[in-house]
Amino acid sequence: MLFNSIDFAIFLPVVFLLYWFVFAKNLRGQNLLVVLASYCFYGWWDWRFLSLIFLSTLVDFTVGIGLSRTERPKSRKYLLACSIAVNLGLLGFFKYHAFFLENFVAAFSLFGQEIGAKSLQLILPVGISFYTFQTLSYTIDVYRKQLEPSRDFVAFAAFVSFFPQLVAGPIERAKNLLPQLGIKRRFDYDQAADGMRQILWGLFKKMVIADNCGRYVDLIFGAPETFGASTLLLGAVFFAFQIYGDFSGYSDIAIGTARLFGFHLSRNFAFPYFSRDMAEFWRRWHISLSTWFRDYLYIPLGGSKVAIWKQVRNVFIIFLVSGFWHGANWTFVAWGALNALYFLPLLLVGRNRKNMEIVAKGKWLPTLRDLFAMCSTFALSVLAWIFFRADSIMDAVSYIVGMISLSMFTWPEIEAHKLMVCMVFFVFVEWIGREGEHAIEHLGMKRHPIFRFGFYYVLLLAIFWFGGTGQEFIYFQF
């Protein structure tokens, strides 16, 4: 079920009314409703893959209970290995089996050996990368004795399948979400109102910015050889806005929806395109995934507290694995490697934690130095996104080569005036709201309600006027 669909527009109010008016005084009933609503939400796409979510839930709940009953190191390692094997086994089978098979066949063909193996043509279950990492973090935390195991199967099932963030994050930690499922929730009007504002802004990001950018991106990336350098550059910039508007828009809708039900989800984006270096960018982009890799891979490898060559190794491992997590294609690995190359100089000279505060905090405008740093960082990210979007590494290289031409100084060959106006408006609102949890959290709150609600109606009109036609979110494929 898509957030930007009529189905969800009916589904959400029905669940909301049942949650607060029928089960308001019954905590277990509320949790059970969350589970049923989540399974309905996911099963709307393909009910057959509900078995995978249930299997992950059952395995990790059982492993958690088992870890609480033994102190024997071998037994605990065995239980953890079972959880990792089941979760990563399912993820690997459905997401990567074709990739490995194709590369295995290609490797043999280089030596003149033709193998007639064919992939199974499996459908990739939506959100499997997200809920797999979510439930894995629970087992690892219990194994490390950083978290008490859940003994309430309904609450644990709600944690794994929580419908607002089930298919594209944020990747929630059990430390944050599970305790909220164990306490009585009360309806908070201010919290719900802010949730609605965040949903509205998320829909604007997705339907007005991302979907409209996507139309031009598909056109330009579909036949880059037919366009000049300036149009190719514009296509790359449009994709940078598309993926940000699409993914952060989903996160905003997810977090806002959770607030309607009394839950606080982790922040997933913190205005990353206002970053002044790539280290800051990665602290602000897909925060839940970045911190997952930091806590469960980077730090166990030694982090930055080891010899310099090991630090370099750790950085490359993190970014290459992050790239491969996004998809079974060498383009994602190349995207990860390029970001590692961006990050390394900052690490080696000790400047990777220089820009920790939001840019120009408390000010209207950035300094010229900050502006140059933001533009440079954005340009680097746009270059990397070309590999992310291209079908192959050679396509990405050809696209970049096509941008190196005197036609860079000509007017683009496509007309996107309305979209450009919307993008300028979007960047302006994000800039003035960059110190909040989301762009319109505090926008106009101190002004007359006419101004505030007028702004909301402008967003609604833009969504209905310029909005796309219920396109899927990009990260559903990951």
For 54-101, write each residue's pLDDT tens digit.
999 999 999 999 999 989 999 999 999 999 999 999 998 888 877 767
pLDDT of residue 53: 94
Token pair, residue 331, equals 């383009």
The band of 305, judged by pLDDT with boundaries at 50, 70 and 90, is confident
pLDDT > 90? residue 471: no
The band of 107, judged by pLDDT with boundaries at 50, 70 and 90, is low
pLDDT > 90? residue 156: yes
The band of 122, judged by pLDDT with boundaries at 50, 70 and 90, is low
User: Out of 97, 326, 417, 438, which one is annotated catalytic?
Assistant: 326
Q: What is the DSSP string of 277-336?
A: SHHHHHHHSSHHHHHHHIIIIITTTTTTSS-HHHHHHHHHHHHHHHHHHH-SSHHHHHHH
Q: Residues 84, 86, 92, 94: is their CA dihedral positive or negative?
A: negative
pLDDT of residue 409: 87
Mean pLDDT of 157-178: 93
pLDDT > 60? residue 104: no
| Max avg pLDDT among 166-170, 271-275, 440-444 | 271-275
The band of 175, judged by pLDDT with boundaries at 50, 70 and 90, is very high
pLDDT of residue 149: 94
Backbone conformation region of residue 470, classed left if phi is above 0, alpha if psi is from -120 to 50, else beta: left
Mean pLDDT of 388-399: 95
Q: Tokens 């007359």 identify what position?
A: 448
260 contacts 16 by C-beta, under 8 angstroms: yes
pLDDT > 90? residue 146: yes
Mean pLDDT of 265-274: 96
Mean pLDDT of 305-315: 91
Mean pLDDT of 229-250: 96
241 contacts 423 by C-beta, under 8 angstroms: yes
Tell me the backbone φ, ψ of residue 150, rounded to 5 degrees: -75, 140
What's the whole-number average pLDDT of the chain? Answer: 91
pTM above the 0.85 mark?
yes
pLDDT of residue 161: 95
Does 326 participate in catalysis according to the annotation?
yes
Token pair, residue 130, equals 């997200």
Residues 6+ apart with CB under 8 A from 384: 335, 338, 339, 342
pLDDT > 60? residue 117: no
Position with higher pLDDT, 152 vs 470: 152
pLDDT of residue 342: 97
